[in-house]
Each structure stands twice: as C-alpha cells, then as structure tokens.
C-alpha cells in the first residue's frame, strides 16, 4: 500500500476512535439504528459517496423480527434526542435503517464491503475496570450495548470510506454496505433481495474477535457458518382456579414444559452437526392460577441449510404436538433465519498473500470455522449464485469479555489493521480482476 495512504491512515486514528466511542455510547438494536445510520449517511455524503438507504436497499417483504410500531416510534424519538439527523431519519421511519455508499472510479469490477451496525440487548457493565465505563463512553441506553464489536465494524467501514475516497486507489465500483439487524439474523436477506448486490463481483466482510483472540492475528477465510432459525412460540390455553376447578383450565405452561423436554431430545443427525436451544420461557401469573399463556424463544442450528431444516421441522412438530397433548393452541413464528455459506478458495488465497504483506500481522491463518451463525450468508450466497465470489475474515484482538457479555470490549488499535486489510483487498482485487474472476 502507498506510503501516503499509511500516513493518511495514521492521521485519522483519533477520528476513528472517536467514532467508535460515540457509536458505543449510543447503541441501537435491530431495525432501530436511526441515529447510527443517519450519522453514517452524513459522513459518506461528506466524503463524496452516492448514498442509498432505507427502502432503496431493503426489500420490505424479507425483513424479519421487526419491533412493534410503538417501539420503533420510541427508538426514533430517542435517536433524535441523542443527535440523529432528522432529514435522513425521515426516510428510515418504520425501521429501514441499512445504508449503502457507492463510489465509482472508471472501468473495473464491482466490489462490496459489508459492515454490521446493530447492538445486542444486554446491560453493559458499570465497573471501573471496564474501559468504556471508566472513560465515559459506556452505553447510555439501558438494556442495549455494543457487545459484539459492531461499533468497531462501523468505524472500520468509515475509515475505509475516508481513505479510499481521498486516494481512489482502485478501479471499478465500490459499494460499502452498513447492514442493520445482523443480531438475530434478521436483516441481510432483505438487502440480498433488494437487487443492490446483483452486479457485485466480490463481497468481502469480517468480524473482530470470534476465533481470532490475539492482536496481530488474522484468519483470512471462514467456513463453518451454521444455518439457523429463530423461533417464537406462544401457547394459548385457558386460566382457571388451581384449587377450585383445575380441570376447567387448559395449562399453557404444561404444553411449553412438554415442548422444552422434547425439543432437547430431538435425535442428532448423521449428516452433520446440529444444535437446539430454548433460551426463554415465560408463563403463568400466580401459584393458584392454571397458566393460560406461555411464551418461548427457541433457536435451531445446522451445519448445512438442510440440517437446520431438519431441526426446524422437527421442532415445529414437537410444538404442535405439545399443544395438542394439553388442549392448548400454539402460534409459531420464525423471526430470524440464515443459511450456511463458505468463503471462496481463490479469495482466501488472495487474502493470505495480502495479510502476509502487511507488517502488522505476525500470525496469518488461512482458514477457520466460524462455529456460529452469521447473517451475511444470504448476501454471500446471492453474490456467489450470480457468479461472483465471497470472503469473510476474522481480525485478531484481545477481548476483555466474551462476545455478547456485559464486559465485552476490544483493543481499538486492531481496527486499523482491519482498515489496512480492506484497503489492500479493494486496491488489489480491482487490479487483478481478470486473474481471479
């Protein structure tokens, strides 16, 4: 990479860290990222990008797990109070919070970079040994925090945008996508189905941490993304006095409990790895009342899309049978879904060579299994189905708490290694398009 680019990157470090800490302080959960998205739009426009957002890059039909209208209105109001930009937020009403910046520079391939922007629902640690709290940038939005590094991903994306807009050291078209609603795998498919990826030759993304737990380490390619389904099930029975007339009740909690025990007993599959978890069960109103309602949150996973379908179909049969057994009704909703995907070998090899040329990395790993689910799989598959190639990396950092934990934090210096990697990939992909197409 040009030494002038290195110097420029050094010059924006303070700005990028400031971005990261600002996004960390004002986190927003899936489909409510109004403030976050509006600030991204503002910065991209300042840098000279054409910017598409809202319904221009989201197919409404494929959004999943949308908050209630009341919650969306509350999130919108809070975003305005916390510095969101009204003129951009207006077109996001209803939860259309993804953004795409487009920069064109002559003939060449179309390259997409994807960065996720939403936070997780968790209460951030408020102790002095937690750096964000100690230095005054921990979450001010109770029950929401950047506990997975997406605040870092946004800032990396903005860093790439700034440097590449300044030097334009690539040929072709660059699309930098800031994706809403990655947590719960409910946002990527709506982008994939919008058409914004249909001319993309390469899509590249990555994540801080996960399997790369040391600064100076990079995993250049990823496979082992689990397909997954996120299921809500509500059992509806009939309340009754537990002592006077228990037989007149229809026990929703009993149906839910029957389901829990049998969901964990789903036979594993010889074709590969499967997972199931009941993460939430709420039921009942008091010890002397037959529970009339029970609500469950469940997830299935599979090493392949087919294995996940096996788990999801089996789970749905159990839920329906558990309702029938105790004379209740059940409403089943799939509120999030992702498929499995793999990075393309050609791009992995390409990224290995780039990582080895960057002096910041002292450990370059060719490929590793992700071991969980990632919403980007729909976007990767869309590009691959159209003849393009996809790459997903993991950037090493020292985590101060596990992903999605109340103490999650990472080494901010590692954002700049990621920025360098993306810049090199864009520059060299555009110059070597015909060799690896």
Give the tens place of pLDDT for each residue, 152-182. Answer: 999 999 999 999 999 999 999 999 999 999 9
State the pLDDT confidence band at 433, using cuts at 50, 70 and 90.
Answer: confident
State the pLDDT confidence band at 436, using cuts at 50, 70 and 90.
Answer: low
User: Which among 140, 202, 147, 194 has a CA at the least distance from the CA of 427?
Assistant: 202
Computed on alpha carbons and rounded to an integer, the radius of gyration of the chain in Å comes to 23
Give the tens place of pLDDT for each residue, 26-37. Answer: 999 999 999 999
Is residue 437 over pLDDT 80?
Answer: no
Is residue 111 over pLDDT 80?
Answer: yes
Is residue 256 over pLDDT 60?
Answer: yes
Residue 62: predicted pLDDT:
96
User: Which among 206, 213, 188, 227 has a CA at the least distance from the CA of 419?
Assistant: 206
DSSP string, 334-384: EEEEE------HHHHHHHHHHHHHSTT-SEEES-EE--S--TTHHHHHHHH
State the pLDDT confidence band at 1, using cuts at 50, 70 and 90.
Answer: low
Rounded CA gap, 382 and 194, in Å? 11
Rounded CA gap, 114 and 117, in Å? 10
Positive or negative: CA dihedral 213, 214, 215, 220? negative
User: Which among 344, 269, 353 has a CA at the least distance from the CA of 309?
Assistant: 269
Fold classification of 3-225+341-436 is Aminopeptidase (3.40.630)
The helix (run of H) or strand (run of E) holding residue 233 is: strand 227-236
167 CA to centre of own chain = 29
Residue 168: predicted pLDDT:
94
Give the tens place of pLDDT for each residue, 125-155. Answer: 999 999 999 999 999 999 999 999 999 999 9
Number of alpha carbons in the 13 Å side-chain half-sphere of residue 70? 0
Average pLDDT estimate for 226-249: 96
Residue 367: predicted pLDDT:
97
Is residue 2 over pLDDT 90?
Answer: no
Residue 435: predicted pLDDT:
64
Residue 361: predicted pLDDT:
96
Give the tens place of pLDDT for each residue, 38-87. Answer: 999 999 999 999 999 999 999 999 999 999 999 999 999 999 999 999 99
Portion of the chain with pLDDT greater than 70, in percent: 98
Is residue 312 over pLDDT 70?
Answer: yes
Whole-Å CA distances, 426 to 123, 152, 164: 37, 19, 9
Give the tens place of pLDDT for each residue, 330-354. Answer: 999 999 999 999 999 999 999 999 9
Fold classification of 227-337 is Alpha-Beta Plaits (3.30.70)
Whole-Å CA distances, 382 to 110, 128, 183: 14, 45, 20
Residue 51: predicted pLDDT:
98
Rounded CA gap, 229 and 311, in Å? 9
CATH 3.40.630.10 domain locations along the chain: 3-225+341-436
Residue 105: predicted pLDDT:
96
Q: What is the mean pLDDT of the chain?
A: 96
CATH 3.30.70.360 domain locations along the chain: 227-337
Question: How many Cβ atoms are within 10 Å of 288's Cβ, its own excluded?
Answer: 10
Average pLDDT estimate for 421-437: 87
Portion of the chain with pLDDT greater than 90, in percent: 96
Average pLDDT estimate for 240-253: 96
> CB under 8 Å to 134, separation ≥6 — which residues?
128
User: Which among 268, 256, 269, 296 has a CA at the least distance from the CA of 280?
Assistant: 296
Average pLDDT estimate for 397-420: 97
User: Which among 329, 235, 240 has a CA at the least distance from the CA of 285?
Assistant: 240
Is residue 325 over pLDDT 90?
Answer: yes
pTM score: 0.94
């Amino acid at each position: 990479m040009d030494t002038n680019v290195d110097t420029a990157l050094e010059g924006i470090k303070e700005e990028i860290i400031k971005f990261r800490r600002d996004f960390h302080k004002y986190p927003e959960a899936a489909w409510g990222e109004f403030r976050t998205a509006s600030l991204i739009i503002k910065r991209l426009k300042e840098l000279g990008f054409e910017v598409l957002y809202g319904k221009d890059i989201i197919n409404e039909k494929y959004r999943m797990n949308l908050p209630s209208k009341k919650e969306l209105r509350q999130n919108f109001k809070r975003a305005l109070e916390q510095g969101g930009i009204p003129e951009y937020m207006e077109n996001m009403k209803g939860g259309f919070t993804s953004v795409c910046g487009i920069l064109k520079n002559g003939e060449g391939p179309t390259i997409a970079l994807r960065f996720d922007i939403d936070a997780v629902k968790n209460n951030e640690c408020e102790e002095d040994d937690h750096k964000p709290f100690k230095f005054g940038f921990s979450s001010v939005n109770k029950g929401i925090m950047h506990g997975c590094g997406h605040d870092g991903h946004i800032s990396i994306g903005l860093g790439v945008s700034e440097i590449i807009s300044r030097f334009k050291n690539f040929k072709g078209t660059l699309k930098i996508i800031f994706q809403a609603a990655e947590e719960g795998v409910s946002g990527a498919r709506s982008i994939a189905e919008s058409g914004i990826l249909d001319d993309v030759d390469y899509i590249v993304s990555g994540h801080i941490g996960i399997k790369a737990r040391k600064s100076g380490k990079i995993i250049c390619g990823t496979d082992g993304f689990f397909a997954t389904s996120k299921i809500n099930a509500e059992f509806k029975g009939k309340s009754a006095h537990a002592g006077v007339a228990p037989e007149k009740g229809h026990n929703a909690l009993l149906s839910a409990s029957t389901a829990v025990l049998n969901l964990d007993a789903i036979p594993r599959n010889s074709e590969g790895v499967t997972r199931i978890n009941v993460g939430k069960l709420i039921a009942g109103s008091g010890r002397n009342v037959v529970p009339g309602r029970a609500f469950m949150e469940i997830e299935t996973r599979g090493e392949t899309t087919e294995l996940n379908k096996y788990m999801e179909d089996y789970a749905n049969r159990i839920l329906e049978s558990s309702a029938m057994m105790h004379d209740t009704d059940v409403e089943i909703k799939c509120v999030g879904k992702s498929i499995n995907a793999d990075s393309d070998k050609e791009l992995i090899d390409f990224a290995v060579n780039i990582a080895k040329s960057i002096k910041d990395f002292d450990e370059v790993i060719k490929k590793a299994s992700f071991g969980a689910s990632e919403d980007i799989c729909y976007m990767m598959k869309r590009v691959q189905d159209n003849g393009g190639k996809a790459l997903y990396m993991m950037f090493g950092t020292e985590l101060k708490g596990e992903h999605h934990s109340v103490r999650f934090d990472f080494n901010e210096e590692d954002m700049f290694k990621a920025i360098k990697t993306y810049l090199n990939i864009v520059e060299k992909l555009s110059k070597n398009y015909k060799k690896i197409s």
